[in-house]
Amino acid sequence: KMEYEARCFFDVEVGGLPMGRIVFELFSDVCSKTCENFRALCTGEKGIGKTTSKPLHYKGIIFHRVVKDFMIQGGDFSVGNGTGGESIYGGTFADENFDVKHDKPFLLSMANRGKDTNGSQFFITTQPAPHLDGVHVVFGHVLSGQEVVSHIEGLPVDRMCRPLQDAKVTNCGELVPKMKNRDKKVKKKAVSSSYPTNKNHTLLDLGSE
């Protein structure tokens, strides 16, 4: 696909140990409002939520519900047990469309409490789930880090399907696309060629304490 789709990332730890990064590609051309909600919750750029009075940010959330051979669920930034969260639009918003089907693993879809009740909670499928079609809005997929999702899916859980060890998002954000080739040729003279990738690597701050 030639068009740019927003890409976001979660850095995940389990029981305090780093597990790796999940990168999502959002289907912005299919459901722009739903994708913008997720993207902004990854960056935290919208400030404080109207109904939760908490930062509209996925940083620090846990995957509070994990069902093997089905999905992993997270996104409740205010309470952390599946009862909280809200959208960047204030409270909940309507189902945008059901164009994309739950026909494979590693799809990103909105959790809800019935029709038109989308907030901040989402789930990632680990199997096809056709019974969710027309009920939950699919708005993206896992581009890399499928093994991190699978690791979380396999964690031991309690009777409420909550992992016994917290699977936590320690950092999250949007990945900015590299410059188009056309622009690169123009800017080559101005930019030192010995630092080709410094611009958009969030990895750079890992070494500096």
Please list the active-site residues: 65, 70, 73, 112, 123, 132, 136
**Can you say whether the dihedral through the CA atoms of 130, 8, 77, 18 is positive or negative?**
positive
What DSSP element (H or E) covers 161?
none
d(CA 176, CA 201): 9
What DSSP element (H or E) covers 23?
strand 17-26
Contact 52, 93 (CB under 8 A): no
- How does DSSP classify residue 76? -
The amino acid at residue 78 is: S
What DSSP element (H or E) covers 21?
strand 17-26
Name the token pair of 115: 């029709």
3-class SS of residue 170:
strand
Name the token pair of 39: 């993207």
